[in-house]
A = this chain, B = another copy of it.
Amino acid sequence: MDNKQERQFVKEIADINTNFPQWYTDVVLKTELADYGPTKGCMIIRPYGYAVWENIQRQLDARFKATGHKNCYFPMLIPLSLLEKEAEHVEGFAPEVAMVTKAGGETLAEPLVIRPTSETIICDTYSKWVQSYRDLPLKYNQWANVLRWEKTTRPFLRTSEFLWQEGHTVHATREEAMKETIDMLHLYAEFAENVLALPTLIGKKTEKEKFAGAESTYGMEAMMQDGKSLQAGTTHHFGDKFSRAYDIQYLDKDGTHKYVWQTSWGVSTRLIGAIIMAHGDQRGLILPPPVAPIQVIVVPVAMHKDGVVDAAKALVDRLVKAGIRAEGDFSEQSPGWKFNQYEMKGVPLRLELGPRDIENGVATAVRRDNGEKFAVSLENIEQTVRQLMDDIRLNMYEKAKAFRDSHVKEAHNMEELEKILNGGNFAKVMWDGDAACEKAIKEKYQATIRVMPFDQTPFDDKCVCCGGKATTVAIIARAY
């Protein structure tokens, strides 16, 4: 590839350092992860983006099933009256819902709401399914589309319709429901680390930030390269709030009827936004190998030379047979064009194969995560590539973690807080637990308490905002 071509490629994507939002949009569109459609606020997930989602789904679903959860499917339309049964819940979601008022050519007697989340219809059903202690626990999940009407939208980060999973569990005791809430948070964090190469901060959400209708909400926050936080997953403990609103009781061994204890938890296509913004660079996407639709791209060099195409095809076949998602690009584009194309698409590993490589029994490998270039023997290349996938994932995680760790800074007062936030960091603060301070911080710095981490070791005794007696360690950041 000549310099002109290279410049053109780089030019297609806005500067990551000076215009991160545009860089994000450029990457989403140029790599064909998603596109805008004719429906306002909704995106089209293109095959390359959907393949990432399928890889997320498969590996997350396996974890759900391994921990005793089963999938099911509830209707997307919810009678309005059902939504209104839990007061806080409806207050939280009513402003965002879309309503079906006409169907089959007639005006409906009662409007139907497109699910913004499914607690209401699921709890209504659970009140029928749960009768005896023998029915408990119920540990169900569904993969579904949901709709929350949004004014300002961005692909993957905030769209009116999005895809997600929502787990809804029912337990006999408060302790068991609490354990499920925390277990699922840790499951999400483990998944983020080992599949998405994403370090996260987990902990409890404040009263203000919790899910509408929950007793408590726990969150997993990931740092993006602009220092903003992305809520990547949440788990909710409902106590018996929904079971009282929807009358879910079971006959216990002792012969008395008792209300059940519930949880819900979810992650969404937002995770794809997190991958883009946590790992990408000026050349485009960098995809973690476990979710990359193409893990290895084989690029033949000097295709016109005898044996090159055949050798490259044989190499792709070998890798595919070994369970590696490998593809070859045998189009008429130049090797340089291809190098850039697949770097932009975030393919973790490129294997170049030219006449000299073949002669030497090697392929020339180039890692997307660190740009390293080296020869790998064609003998046992399946094993080498498998090891490289693991190395790349680990390096991506370590890099993101080092970035994150160096961008979480302690703030002792509002001045420090402002400086830390404006410097593209998360602030670790001591807080007095008062919603007034939380509100003041939000109004002044457009930043929120993301989580109160499980490690509550104090490092100061004064509230960062009012200087009053601090009770709580909190992580403050601007957020998507």
Contact = CB atoms under 8 A, between A and B. Distances in A.
Interface in A52-106: 53-54, 70-79, 82, 94-105
A247 interface: no
A319 interface: no
Interface string A351-370: 00000000000000000000
Contacts of A54: 71
B44 A125 contact: yes
Given A44-B72, A44-B125, A149 B103 contact: yes
A135 to B, nearest CB: 12
Given A43-B75, A82-B38, A114 B100 contact: yes
A77 B45 contact: no
Given A104-B149, A125-B44, A140-B47, A39 B112 contact: yes
B39 A121 contact: yes
A161 B100 CA distance: 13
Interface in A421-445: none
B70 A51 contact: yes
A46 interface: yes
A446 to B, nearest CB: 22
A98 B103 contact: yes
A35 interface: yes
B76 A145 contact: yes
A331 to B, nearest CB: 9
20 contacts: A37-B74, A37-B121, A37-B124, A38-B82, A38-B121, A38-B124, A39-B75, A42-B77, A44-B75, A46-B72, A73-B163, A76-B145, A95-B104, A97-B103, A99-B103, A100-B100, A104-B149, A104-B150, A104-B151, A145-B145
Given A97-B103, A99-B103, 20 more contacts: A37-B121, A42-B77, A44-B72, A44-B74, A46-B72, A47-B72, A49-B72, A50-B71, A51-B71, A53-B73, A76-B147, A76-B161, A77-B147, A77-B160, A97-B104, A98-B112, A99-B100, A100-B114, A103-B149, A144-B145
